[in-house]
Amino acid sequence: MFFHTFWALILGFTLSGAVQAFASREKMREQLGDDSFKSVFKASFFGIISSSCSYSASALAKSLFSKGANFTSSIVFMFASTNLVIELGLVLWIMMGWQFAVAEFFGGAVMILLLKLLIPRLIPATLIERSRESYESSSEINSTRKATWHDAAGYTMGDFKMLRYELVIGFVVAGLAAKMIPASFWSALFLSGNGFISSIENVIIGPVIAFISFVCSVGNIPLAAALWHGGISFGGTISFIFADLVALPLVLIYRKYYGTKLAIRLTLVFWLVMSLSGLITEILFKFLNLIPAMNHKMSHTNQIGANYTTVLNALALALIAWIYWMYRTQDKTAADQVFAKDLVCGMQVRISDAPAQYEINNETYYFCMPGCRDTFKSNPSNFISVDK
């Protein structure tokens, strides 16, 4: 599975790093002041061209919200940045077929529409505003320095470092699920043969599996492939892929960001939206006769040899070598005025809108999310001694 998706991951992360470096987040905030369809559309676009890391997306969405962006638009941004990005579509196409890639983008649009309609109606405005007031403000350091490809390489390498565990866990869990779990287990877990009732059960249980699997972002695609070949319905697979934002670690992050009450409501709304989107997507694709035939063997993932994938992977190796060289030869003096390195996860953070920061010994450190800051704060010597 990793062999067949390597080039797509490299290409996707490279494009994502370039966009993060050259896009202005200040302009993003200015465009997301309300929850109108126009703002929601812009939030979706900004999300599509942003990082696919679920943790980074949740932190950036909170940062946008705390600095004045509308809550619904911020959440839409977070969903788009994890479910509608280039690398996700590429990996889906390769591992599961073009139908799943198309379904991901169609279902993503449905999900965004449901979020726009349901969040204002199901989440009290008082809880939202209370959460905005409780969030720390970050630095307001501005710089006229133009972004470079060295900066883009820094974002790409940072995303790799942040997602390395997610990707490894995703491939390992998917491989074990495909090879060691008997078909009878999947048959018992996912109802089949009961028509619409089976479809409803599958789209409901999909996010539950995502919650307990701890895998999110692009890392959940290999597991989605294993679930699909194991017997879960088309809509259930789509709802599972959408549910990368309700993995347990992220739900705990929402609790830190927004408080317990809002986090619970938000998670339940996410679950509802993901399940409905998966169900609607399945109904439409069934009507259009676009659902592929289910195959209980992931045969394509066992074929490694001299083929076009090998050539693409070789080109991807050359690309990542160039990116690493750009990253290592970056002008640190100039870059340090604009960017900082999250010492916990390794991500590159723009100082002007870092979601979290911590000062110690008269020096300020910046982090991609409060969780990383808290880890650093609990024992700074684990990080400072290594990186200084």
pLDDT tens per residue across all 388 residues of the chain:
677 667 766 876 787 677 667 766 666 667 777 888 988 998 888 888 765 567 667 767 776 786 678 899 989 988 988 888 777 788 788 888 889 999 989 999 999 999 999 999 999 888 887 776 554 444 444 555 677 788 888 878 877 776 677 667 766 776 676 677 665 676 667 766 677 888 898 899 888 887 876 566 666 777 788 788 777 889 999 999 888 888 777 787 787 778 788 889 999 999 999 999 999 999 999 999 998 876 655 444 456 666 667 888 899 899 999 999 988 887 777 677 778 888 887 777 878 767 788 888 888 898 877 778 888 888 888 888 654 4
Same domain, 305 and 262: yes
The reply to whether 22 and 154 lie within a common domain is yes
Q: Phi-psi region for residue 303, left (φ > 0), alpha (ψ -120 to 50) or beta?
A: beta
Give yes or no: residues 61 and 145 share one domain. Answer: yes
Q: Which of 280, 295, 328 is the last residue of a domain?
A: 328
Does residue 217 share a domain with residue 236? yes
The answer to whether position 66 is within a domain reads: yes
pTM value is 0.66
Number of domains in the chain: 2
Domain match, 220 and 368 both: no
Residue 319 domain-assigned (yes or no) = yes
Longest dimension (CA), the chain: 65
> Among 309, 328, 347, which residue terminates a domain?
328
Domain membership of residue 287 (yes or no) is yes
Residue 300 within any structural domain of the chain: yes
Q: Does one domain contain both 296 and 375?
A: no
* 102, 118 contact by CB (below 8 A): no
Residue 333 within a domain: no
| 90, 208: one domain | yes
SS3 assignment, position 357: strand
Structure tokens at 24: 């202005």
Same domain, 320 and 375: no
Which position has the token pair 């960017």? 339
Alpha helices in the chain (DSSP H): 2-22, 25-31, 37-48, 54-66, 71-83, 86-96, 98-122, 125-134, 149-180, 183-189, 196-213, 220-230, 234-242, 248-258, 260-287, 308-328, 332-335, 370-378, 381-387
**Residue 367 and residue 218 in one domain:** no
165 and 272 belong to one structural domain: yes
Residue 164 in domain: yes
Q: Are strands 356-360 and 363-367 parallel, antiparallel or unpaired?
A: antiparallel
Last residue of a domain, one of 328, 360, 378: 328
Contact 347, 158 (CB under 8 A): yes
Helices (H), 215-369: 220-230, 234-242, 248-258, 260-287, 308-328, 332-335
Answer yes or no: is 371 within a domain. yes
Same structural domain, 281 and 346? no
302 and 349 both lie in a single domain:
no
What sign does the dihedral 267-269-270-271 (CA atoms) show?
Answer: positive
Q: What range defines the domain where residue 351 resides?
A: 338-387
- Distance set, CA 253 to CA 67, 260, 319 (Å): 19, 10, 34
